[in-house]
Structure 1
Amino acid sequence: MRQLVKPGAPKADSNARSRRPAVGPKAKEKPAAASGHRRLCYLAILAVTIFLWYRFSLLDDDGLRTGRAKGDADPCQGRYIYVCKLPARFNADIIRDACRDTDAGGERLCASVGNAGLGRPLEDPADGVLTGENGWHGTRQLALDVIFHNRMKRYECLANRSTVATAIFVPFYASLDFARHAAVGDNATRDAAAADVADWLRWRPEWDRRSDGHDHFLVAGRAARDLMRDGSGPDWGTNLLVTPAGRNMSALVLESSLHEATSGFAVPYPTYFHPRTDADVFRWQERVRGLRRTWLMAFVGGETRQAPGSPATTNDYVMAQCKASESCGHLKLGRCAAGSTSQCHSPVNVMRLLQNATFCLHPPPGGDSYTRRWAFDSMVAGCIPVFFNPASAYLQYKWHLPKDYTKYSVLVPEAGIRAGTVSIEATLRAIPAATVARMREEVVRLIPTVVYADPSAKLETVKDAFDIAVEGILHSVARPRA
């Protein structure tokens, strides 16, 4: 049949296939480019797959970045701590409000808790008491709340979620809250912040995670008794640690209660020394080892403030023996009142005396208190502490000081001091020189364990008081309570 051709259409050429143009170089480029693009896509997909596998292999089952390959041992296992995101009214605002209260000495308070709690840097005097070392500040004891909080911000095992944490830190500035209301006679005002933080915690999901807050802990630069007003004793302090929430939590305090069943653990008072590096610690240890000590013993403090007619305290008897001895250096500290002749808040003067003594005397300061801040400053100075009551150290700082107290300190019976039958000077002179040398070396070895490193830095191989306290609290909260 004859094929019809549409008008205007080109005629079919039976030889068209045979006359197809030869495939030239340009014709080959297109399929080669497509193949190259596909290969690049495959490589890109493979690279993304490897990246995602590696990225998520560094996350543990709870989504925490560990920096380790999956299956490797987790160095933070059992050490994770979650920091409660408390409203500012429980910490930062307390400092702000206290600083504004000029009637209550706000300017001085600001200076003492500024610089992450360390206070103002100290200048080395002409006689080289500090000898150019880094990390010396005019730190006060109530700043422990701030120092600890800032150190915790740099803790290497922080958890993003409370569900994976062994312990939960509550950054409530309890000692600063105590200070701003210490002179207030209204107990409701004193206890307002403690009640507020307890209510806030009880509404948080992590509170019920483990027996109503038994894995929570806080830090307070006060003695436990200052936070345990229960109405049966003196009208003093707050009731933070005797509320239901306070009893459930653990508290790191400067002096624990030896007579009440609380979860308070004693940690060292802040000293004036806050090293930034291991080298700072090692240089200072070498310095105090080589000091020439001109005093046999030294005492820092004044008379115990007692009601008129009340009997003398052990502190008063010890000070009297020091004053009567030509071998005892005495530095009287007092309130910073106008026209006062006392050496109040003079860290350099304190350290000068402590560095010049072989033994430093630390009687209970009086009242219900047994511990003294100067015990730790004296150890930083390489001065062997002398205690008169086991509660001044041995029953308190069990995490930070050796169980065998004879390795680093001397215990002089308190009863003999009060009865006038024991001479402190004679007791200390009877200790053999070789024993004194061994005790001083142990004191020097303990220096890192009783100081808090600068929160803006971190010691590499040395454990400081913060590290030891964290280890202690993790061990404590991990154990089931009776």
Structure 2
Amino acid sequence: MCPYLDNLSFGPEIENPEDVLMNNSWFLTNQFLLEVIFHNRMKRYECLTNDSSIASAVFVPFYVGLDMSLYLWGFNITERDSASLALVKWLSEKPEWKRMWGRDHFLVAGRIAWDFRRQSDNESDWGSKLRFLPESKNMSMLSIESSSWNNDYAIPYPTCFHPSKDSEIFQWQDRMRRQKRRYLFSFAGAPRPEYQNSIRGKIIDQCLASKNQCKLLDCNYGATNCDNPVNDLGEWKINLNETLLRIPEDRISALREEVIKLIPRVVYAGSRSRSETLEDSFDLAVKGILERIKSVRGMIREGKDSSIGFADGDDYKYTFPPYGDGI
């Protein structure tokens, strides 16, 4: 892990002998270092203050994911929960906590939110119970994958692209627009043969059956940056090849342009001057959490109970429109 802490935790710079990538913008970034990347960026945030009494929010620079990584395998729940219990005890004793009882506090995790939501004290259960601790329920958490609770929010995984100037983003967007697309669709993942209802497995089968229409990046064979979601079980009745072929070319071009427009919003930029105009993942995450805390503060001013719904479970967070003709 230590080599990945270079360059403000972006990792070692990727060698580019054939000029495939833009110089000084691509790094071997480890996805689990998001919390360190975020902290390093926060240190340079232009609105930081040392006076907590005037702060709009309190960022908690606890590397919750890195701590959890040390104890996920082969350790009992006492060891897995130790740092979390110490953290909330320390926070709740601070004067800043009592201002909003922690609802203006937030932290960032470089692991999925479910790693911190162990729902029992059975030794065989996964993860820690950080997010079920009473004090932690009053805080918000930004993580690489969210949960169905209202105080967990998903922010992008760190990519290997960390542009230091807007011009580098514009250059990459232009390159993506000119890129020749040889495949109708692509899929990155690894099969889960132990689960017969795995949607992932059905997509992989369709991808392989489509011959030259689909490009499969098989994460079983050394792909280090594949994301294999845990909860992919369900009913799947879609033929991807037939469905995607029905989409008109002009619609495809419009959809592709929307994805290209998202590039600045899903990367964590390098050091930038204040004259830069684009907002990256960090900017949008901070803006979003400040809006969240502002709304909670407004409820308090109106005499409402800000705890209502703050940390409730909400399965509708994962409700999506039907597939098919709506694409």
TM-score range, shorter chain: 0.7 to 0.9
C-alpha separation in 2, matches of 1:220 and 1:295: 35
SS class of match (1:434): helix
SS class of match (1:209): helix
Residue 276 of structure 1 contacts residue 453 of structure 1 at CA under 8 Å; is this kept in 2? Answer: yes
Q: CA deviation at 1:304?
A: 2.4
Q: CA deviation at 1:162?
A: 0.5
C-alpha separation in 1, matches of 2:63 and 2:108: 8
Alignment of 1:197-236 (within 5 A): 197-210=87-100, 212-231=101-120, 235-236=125-126
Equivalent in the alignment of 1:116:
8
Larger Rg belongs to: 1
Which one of the candidate residues 442, 447, 454 is aligned to 2:258?
442
Describe the shift of the 1:465–1:173 C-alpha distance in structure 2 as closer, same or farther (beyond 3 A): same
Q: Does 1:313 align with 2:171?
A: no
C-alpha separation in 1, matches of 2:294 and 2:111: 25
Equivalent in the alignment of 2:313:
none
Q: CA deviation at 1:331?
A: 1.7
SS class of match (1:116): helix
C-alpha separation in 2, matches of 1:240 and 1:217: 13
1:201-232 Cα shifts (integer Å, max 9, x gaps) = 1121111112x111000000122111111317
Equivalent in the alignment of 1:451:
267
Describe the shift of the 1:468–1:189 C-alpha distance in structure 2 as closer, same or farther (beyond 3 A): same
C-alpha separation in 2, matches of 1:157 and 1:281: 24
Describe the shift of the 1:462–1:305 C-alpha distance in structure 2 as closer, same or farther (beyond 3 A): farther
Quick one: which amino acid aligns to residue 12 of structure 2? R
Q: CA deviation at 1:366?
A: 5.1
1:340-371 Cα shifts (integer Å, max 9, x gaps) = xx2332x6xx8xxxxxxxxxxx9xx4543x6x
1:105-157 Cα shifts (integer Å, max 9, x gaps) = xxxx223344322122112363x542x34311122221110110011011110
Equivalent in the alignment of 1:12:
none
C-alpha separation in 2, matches of 1:254 and 1:425: 30
Equivalent in the alignment of 1:177:
67
Q: CA deviation at 1:439?
A: 0.9
Equivalent in the alignment of 1:268:
156
Q: CA deviation at 1:457?
A: 3.3
Which one of the candidate residues 412, 419, 429 is aligned to 2:245?
429
C-alpha separation in 2, matches of 1:254 and 1:305: 26
Equivalent in the alignment of 1:323:
208
Identity across the alignment (%): 40
Equivalent in the alignment of 2:43:
153
SS class of match (2:201): helix
Describe the shift of the 1:206–1:366 C-alpha distance in structure 2 as closer, same or farther (beyond 3 A): closer
Q: Does 1:303 align with 2:194?
A: no
Q: CA deviation at 1:302?
A: 1.2
Quick one: which amino acid aligns to residue 231 of structure 1? S
1:313-343 Cα shifts (integer Å, max 9, x gaps) = 0000001111111211112123xxxxxxx23
Which one of the candidate residues 271, 287, 311 is aligned to 1:471?
287
- What residue ranges of structure 2 are gaps of 5+ in the alignment? 297-305, 309-327
Quick one: which amino acid aligns to residue 8 of structure 2? A
SS class of match (1:235): coil
Quick one: which amino acid aligns to residue 205 of structure 2? A
Aligned alpha-carbon RMSD (Å): 2.1
SS class of match (1:331): strand
Equivalent in the alignment of 1:89:
none
Describe the shift of the 1:267–1:366 C-alpha distance in structure 2 as closer, same or farther (beyond 3 A): closer
Quick one: which amino acid aligns to residue 280 of structure 2? D
Equivalent in the alignment of 1:287:
175
- Report the count of equivalent residues: 295
Residue 133 of structure 1 contacts residue 284 of structure 1 at CA under 8 Å; is this kept in 2? Answer: no
Describe the shift of the 1:458–1:450 C-alpha distance in structure 2 as closer, same or farther (beyond 3 A): farther
SS class of match (2:62): coil
Q: Does 1:343 align with 2:222?
A: yes
Residue 304 of structure 1 contacts residue 366 of structure 1 at CA under 8 Å; is this kept in 2? Answer: no
Equivalent in the alignment of 2:34:
144
SS class of match (2:191): coil
TM-score, normalized by length of structure 1? 0.58
Residue 228 of structure 1 contacts residue 239 of structure 1 at CA under 8 Å; is this kept in 2? Answer: yes
Q: Which has the higher contact order (CA 8 A, sep 6+)?
A: 2
Equivalent in the alignment of 1:63:
none
Residue 331 of structure 1 contacts residue 343 of structure 1 at CA under 8 Å; is this kept in 2? Answer: no
- What residue ranges of structure 1 are gaps of 5+ in the alignment? 1-108, 335-341, 351-361, 371-388, 390-413
Residue 299 of structure 1 contacts residue 329 of structure 1 at CA under 8 Å; is this kept in 2? Answer: yes
1:248-307 Cα shifts (integer Å, max 9, x gaps) = 11100122212xx4411111111111111111111111111111111121111211274x
Alignment of 1:366-405 (within 5 A): 367-368=230-231
Residue 193 of structure 2 contacts residue 201 of structure 2 at CA under 8 Å; is this kept in 1? Answer: no
